[in-house]
Structure 1
Amino acid sequence: MTIEMGTPEAGRLGDVTRVLAQWQHDDVPVQVHPGDIGWFWRFGAERTARATRTWSRGAELLAVGLLDGPDLLRLAFAPGTLREEELARRVAADASAPGSGVLPAGKVYVEAPAGALVRDLLAEDGWRSGEAWTLLRLDLGAPVPDPGVLVEEIGPERAHEWAAVVRASFDGSTFDGERWHAMAAGAPYADARCLLARDRQGRAAAAVAVWSAGPGRIGLIEPLGVHRDHRGHGHGRAITHAAARALRELGSSSVAVYTPSGNTGGVATYLSAGMERVSERLDLYRDTP
């Protein structure tokens, strides 16, 4: 039976993320997480479905891709399939062909797990190493330090305040309360929490969303931001501790985050919170007319 690529209907996207959650284990390379799709869901279910690609053999889901922007494909593979040749060749061919409905012509990027055969095949086809990303992880088997600041779990009535901190944390962000509600309506948010840290004067200083993949599996931080007016006071470390504690309560085995290696401040914040630098991974890119 041949491997087929598809785009799920919005109503079936929850089924895809539930299978994807089952792939998140500490003994496999960190890859696209249900939380990545959950964060993308801020743009609505229909747009999220259009940005999702699946590769299946019959009814068996083998790989999931998220078009995290029109020029970036992020990939995840079912356990045991990282080096499966037929699957890798099909994914590589679809990623490389501008007419396949995956990536357009021009400069495009693929992010694939460490050790995946698709990385080797793309490199053989002329794809080059691109931006470096640092993976950090914290084992949640032991208790996590108290954040030391007031941390609140945010619900619909405070979505605007959480959104304002996110906007003030990332240059160019347009995140608002409406997008929070869209994100919270997505299937992955059933296993997610949004947290807000305040300074001693009660001002909102830092925000984070954490995504569980279920008990005994890797949890994800996406996003984490400190308001530009509150940096340099330990709020990043505090909200990281709060995120880890929340995922531990949800039963996650560990917490992971990927951040650009050039984001030295972000990397330093995660390290100061006790996370360990696990590895550095390069994405791949090609540039065609």
Structure 2
Amino acid sequence: MDFELRILGSSSATPSANRHHTAQVLTIGNQLHLIDCGEGTQMQLMQYKIKHQRICNIYISHLHGDHYFGLAGLLSTMHLQGRQLPLHLFGPPGLSEILSLQFRYSGTNLSFKLIFHELDTACYKKIFEDKLITVHTIPMEHRVPTCGFIFREKPKPRPLIKEKLPPYLTPPQLVRLKWGEDIKDEQGNLILANKDVTLDPKHSRSYAYCSDSRYKPDLLPYLQNVDLLYHEATFLSDMEERANQTFHSTARQAAEMAAAAQVRHLLLGHFSVRYKDLTPLLTEAQEIFPKADLATEGSIFSVVDQHR
């Protein structure tokens, strides 16, 4: 099953000719999750041949324009192209009102059901769950209410070693073995130990999206050991004071967070337009956390489905 992140935009508040406002698509199996929706997101979806009608959920981290100004346009295009499937939208207080006003004065009545989930951006909370994943909010520290998101696969079944399975096992017993249970008789006596007939399950993959925020070490408990961490890196460390004043982070601070949380892979994004060449930001981060990359337009980052 795919677990793949595509970057659509990497710029901070001001876009440039080569960098777009923040947006990402996380593909998990056959589901597409859109994370933030800056101006021009639907154009980027077309650029990379991503079918927006396959998007099941949209997550908006906060109400600065570079993270949601593309939303009304994308929803309108979905409507014009006849979308029928419901769409879940997760966002901070005020977003539903903004969209309602835009659609009211444009005379737009969406052809599909838009299900809005208002987020409490100040806490860690589960906001979505299906048979494959859970999604939690994580509180950021920014100038307006802001949260990040953590996507986690649910625990996976243990593979059965067919040649070691006794022929008398029933289908319900096989299911229990897959989920780590031993087989016992009615008196509780062990008949078959799980460890003798199964293998360890594959690793449950995870992605953490840390949107605009000051450096915030108290996020570490939520980020421990995630496979893929996106952390904003608006500035180089020589502008740390400016980063603090504007409630942003530096590339060095992002790397320090990744190292302390022992993540597997760090992605840097939300770059200030002042940096024409992003190499210094990557270099600064890699001095602390070597497994760092730039989350630039078109980049794809996959987490392989395997034993860890």
Q: Which has the higher helix share?
A: 1
Q: Which has the higher strand share?
A: 1
Query: Does TM, scored on the shorter chain, surpass 0.5?
Result: no
Structure-2-length-normalised TM-score: 0.29
Structure showing greater relative contact order (alpha-carbon pairs closer than 8 Å, 6 or more residues apart): 1
Structure-1-length-normalised TM-score: 0.30
